[in-house]
Amino acid sequence: MKTSGSGEFTFALRDDLYSLPDAVKENEVKLHGGFAIDNRPDKGQLYYGMPGSGILRVESDLKSQELITLPDNLGEYNFHSTKIASLNGQERLILSAEGNQKVLLVDLEGSVDMILTRPEFDEYKSEDVNYLPTDTVLVDDVLYIADGYGANYISSNSLVDQSWKGIFGGIAADANDDGKFSTAHGINYNPVHKHLDICDRPNSRIQAHDVDGGFLGSYKMPSGSFLCGINYFESQERWYAVIGCLQDPEVGEGRPAPVIEKLPGYDNVILASAHYRNGVLLAPATAEMVKEMVLSG
């Protein structure tokens, strides 16, 4: 059995959990992007995009996967981010297709509700300005879209009537340019402080903004960590942030991967980093390890 890591952070490749449908195996090498977990009671399925195929649903026991086909040519898209959220009482997948300059909202069976294209703001009027959305977050009925691979603006759209509401950010002049981003790669809504947390990847920082785009603060992470995304969970009446990173924060200091540990100097921030392209496979084990770290204090 192939393993990586060491000690309590040893991970194994479980061949018995390899259950990709035959129809999508040829596209496995194209995988790139995040996944969503349905956290509703008695659910627990995982969803992620498979370029060239559509959407994959992994059952909660991880023993089977099902292809959810999309209409037209949408199955060819690479969905850099997959989020799940409730809209009008129904669960929806929100899919950022950076290469196609679109954000899709579909139900859990693949029926398309809406497709958002290029934002209708002055900042995007010029064809020379790229729009390559990498992540989203839904707050009430307003969708915030991070253009992390493009012009690095955060645009908001009211899904009630699909109207563009606001825009902030843009490309940072340097690593200390607050309120702007070098790569606004990930975005989420902080459930404790009620603001947006945005991962500015190459600058190894999280920038906090209110829902109207106002800058609130910048929080540095270890240099070189390349933050990809941030999520939150509550345990024993305390909230935690888990930050996924692309690279080892301690570059040059060889260590097992992935890195799962508390951020030095903080007792309520846990790093879950360096999974590289095995994020989907290692996500359940990572979640269990983070859970044990929280419960043990």
Question: For the segment 214-246, what is each residue's pLDDT rounded down to a tens digit?
Answer: 999 999 888 888 889 999 888 788 888 888 887
Is residue 122 domain-shared with residue 268, that is, in the same domain? yes
Instruction: Convert 222-244 into a string of H (helix), E (strand) and C (coil).
Output: CCCCCEEEEEEEEECCEEEEEEE
Is residue 173 domain-shared with residue 288, that is, in the same domain? yes
pTM more than 0.95: no
pLDDT per position as a tens digit, 124-145: 999 999 999 999 999 999 999 9
Is residue 160 domain-shared with residue 87, that is, in the same domain? no
Last residue of a domain, one of 37, 58, 93: 93
CATH no. for residue 284? 2.120.10.30
- Residue bearing tokens 């981010």: 81
pLDDT at 193: 95
Is residue 117 domain-shared with residue 196, that is, in the same domain? yes
Region 84-88 average pLDDT = 93
Q: Which domain holds residue 68?
A: 1-75+83-93
Report how many helices (DSSP H) and strands (DSSP E) the chain contains, helices first: 1, 22
Is residue 223 domain-shared with residue 106, that is, in the same domain? yes
Instruction: Convert 144-158 into a string of H (helix), E (strand) and C (coil).
Output: EEECCCCCCEEEEEE
Is residue 267 domain-shared with residue 161, that is, in the same domain? yes
**How far is it, in rounded angstroms, from Cα 287 to Cα 297?**
15
Asked whether 196 and 230 are in contact (CB, 8 A), the reply is no
Give the three-state DSSP class for 245: strand
Long-range contacts from 203-208, C-beta under 8 angstroms, 24+ separation: 203/172, 203/175, 204/249, 205/175, 206/230, 206/243, 207/178, 207/179, 207/181
**How far is it, in rounded angstroms, from Cα 146 to Cα 71?**
25
Is residue 151 domain-shared with residue 226, that is, in the same domain? yes
**How far is it, in rounded angstroms, from Cα 184 to Cα 182?**
6
Domain count, the chain: 2
pLDDT at 278: 58
Instruction: Convert 81-130 into a string of H (helix), E (strand) and C (coil).
Output: EEEEEEECCEEEEEEEEHHHCEEEEECCCCCEEEEECCCCCHHHCCCCCC
Is residue 261 domain-shared with residue 130, that is, in the same domain? yes
pLDDT at 279: 60
Confidence band for 157, pLDDT divided at 50, 70 and 90: very high
Asked whether 196 and 209 are in contact (CB, 8 A), the reply is yes
pLDDT per position as a tens digit, 45-85: 999 999 999 999 999 999 999 999 999 899 999 999 999 99
Asked whether 132 and 118 are in contact (CB, 8 A), the reply is no
The pLDDT mean for the chain works out to 88
Last residue of a domain, one of 93, 128, 143: 93
Is residue 105 domain-shared with residue 139, that is, in the same domain? yes
Is residue 119 domain-shared with residue 141, that is, in the same domain? yes
Asked whether 104 and 115 are in contact (CB, 8 A), the reply is yes
Is residue 112 domain-shared with residue 238, that is, in the same domain? yes
∠ CA 162-82-204, rounded to 5°:
105
**How far is it, in rounded angstroms, from Cα 155 to Cα 131?**
11
Is residue 141 domain-shared with residue 235, that is, in the same domain? yes
